[in-house]
Amino acid sequence: MNDLLLRVLKGEETERVPVWMMRQAGRYLPDYLKLKAQYDFFTRVQTPELATAITLQPVDQVGVDAAIIFSDILVIPQAMGKEVLMEEGKGPSLPVTIQTQKDVDALITENVEENLKYVMDALSLTKKELAGRVPLIGFAGAPWTILCYMVEGKGSKTWDKAKQFAYTQPLVAHSLLQKITDITIAYLKAQVKAGADTVQVFDSWAGSLSPADFKIYAQPYLLQIADALKGDVPVILFPKGTWYALKDLSESGAAGIGIDWCVSPQAAREFTGSKITLQGNFDPSKLLAPIPEIRKAVKEMIDGFGKHRYIANLGHGIMPNVPVDHARAFVEAVKEFGTK
């Protein structure tokens, strides 16, 4: 079994740097696009056979060292009782948003394992199909990021409505964040029971907050999740855009931290010392560069992070317009330059 990822997360020495890519299942893969043409988004997510097939595609076709279950962070608002729409080309939306304590009180936090049974089924099926080839990663959105969607109802450049909600009703915001945290912990524990070997928490919009507000509205909930799961599996935290929090997070219960591309590998190491495994941070847009440029940048990235306690990845999700052979060149370059 290729357990490079899990060994690196435990801090063990490995023969080579493991590699996977955020959003590796989907978008840019022709076989995914065929399924996308046949089935709508939630059918793909909620049908274990489809989610499994999509999850396995990058393992088989791109050669990554881990599978990450095909799902969406917005299954949590759904499990809490909110309708989530996913219209092609428009991004996700929630027709009814959270604005008051009453709205928060009405949210469901029980029975997440049953309500999201299709995710557990997809994990179990994927685990079986993988047959030990590579580890399986589960995931969830971080509380702040989920709050952003639940309050704004759709994507935003500034998340100013979510922030206004937090700044004007901090107690309501904290009660919502705690509810999301509680259900997310239960959800991730259920994912582990269903077969996830490690879990990643995506705080995609953490970077919308100032450092002071990140400490109030995001970090405490990330730490709760890391602490609650650390006895089960290694936890990777990915709070995008929060270079200033790297030191604090490196001293948390997390086993790894995802780094976006706006931090140099050297600076990321400086902020975190050798205390934690780092993951990242290739500029997703650089996969559009010619292959020799990709290879050169991969080598520089590995030289920057070093080959110990390091997982090669992108600094954010892979984009739909990346040619598959460029994705493959990225993975192959890590395997070449990341071998000890």
Tell the smallest beta-carbon distance from residue 81 to a second copy (Å): 27
CB of 114 or CB of 160, closer to a second copy: 160
Residue 118 binds a second copy (CB under 8 A): no
Tell the smallest beta-carbon distance from residue 157 to a second copy (Å): 8
Distance CA 280, CA 20 (A): 9
Residue 93 binds a second copy (CB under 8 A): no
- With residues binned 3-state (H G I as helix, E B as strand, rest as coil), the percentages for the chain, rounded to 5, are 50, 15, 35
CB of 149 or CB of 187, closer to a second copy: 149
Residue 41 binds a second copy (CB under 8 A): no
Using CB under 8 A as the criterion, what x/- string covers residues 188-217 for binding a second copy? -------------------xxxxxxx----
Tell the smallest beta-carbon distance from residue 125 to a second copy (Å): 33
Residues 232-251 that bind a second copy (CB under 8 A): 241, 243-244
Tell the smallest beta-carbon distance from residue 124 to a second copy (Å): 35
Using CB under 8 A as the criterion, what x/- string covers residues 264-303 for binding a second copy? x--x---------------xxxx-xxx--x------x---
Distance CA 161, CA 148 (A): 8
Sign, CA dihedral 300-269-159-27, equals positive
Helix (H) / strand (E) element for 314: namely: strand 310-314
Q: How many beta carbons lie within 10 A of that of residue 213, not counting itself? A: 16
Distance CA 61, CA 21 (A): 13
Q: Which stretch binds a second copy (CB under 8 A): 22-30, 115-123, 152-160, 332-340?
A: 152-160
Tell the smallest beta-carbon distance from residue 250 to a second copy (Å): 17
Are 165 and 99 within 8 A, CB to CB?
yes
CB of 192 or CB of 289, closer to a second copy: 289
Distance CA 336, CA 167 (A): 49
Q: Which stretch binds a second copy (CB under 8 A): 53-61, 64-72, 158-166, 182-190?
A: 158-166
Q: Which stretch binds a second copy (CB under 8 A): 22-30, 128-136, 162-170, 194-202?
A: 162-170
Residues 312-331 that bind a second copy (CB under 8 A): 315, 319, 321
CB of 128 or CB of 247, closer to a second copy: 247
Question: Binding residue for a second copy (CB under 8 A) from 37, 168, 171, 231?
Answer: 168
- DSSP string over 84-122: -EEETTTEEE-SS---SHHHHHT---S-HHHHTHHHHHH
- DSSP string over 156-221: -SS-HHHHHHHHH-HHHHHHHHHHHHHHHHHHHHHHHHHT-SEEEEEETTGGGS-HHHHHHHTHHH
CB of 131 or CB of 212, closer to a second copy: 212
Distance CA 70, CA 125 (A): 12
**Interaxial angle between packed helices 143-152 and 170-194, expressed in degrees from 0 to 180 and rounded to the nearest 10:** 120
**Interaxial angle between packed helices 219-229 and 143-152, expressed in degrees from 0 to 180 and rounded to the nearest 10:** 130
Chain residues in the site for a second copy (CB under 8 A): 157-160, 163-164, 167-168, 207-213, 241, 243-244, 261-264, 267, 283-286, 288-290, 293, 300, 315, 319, 321
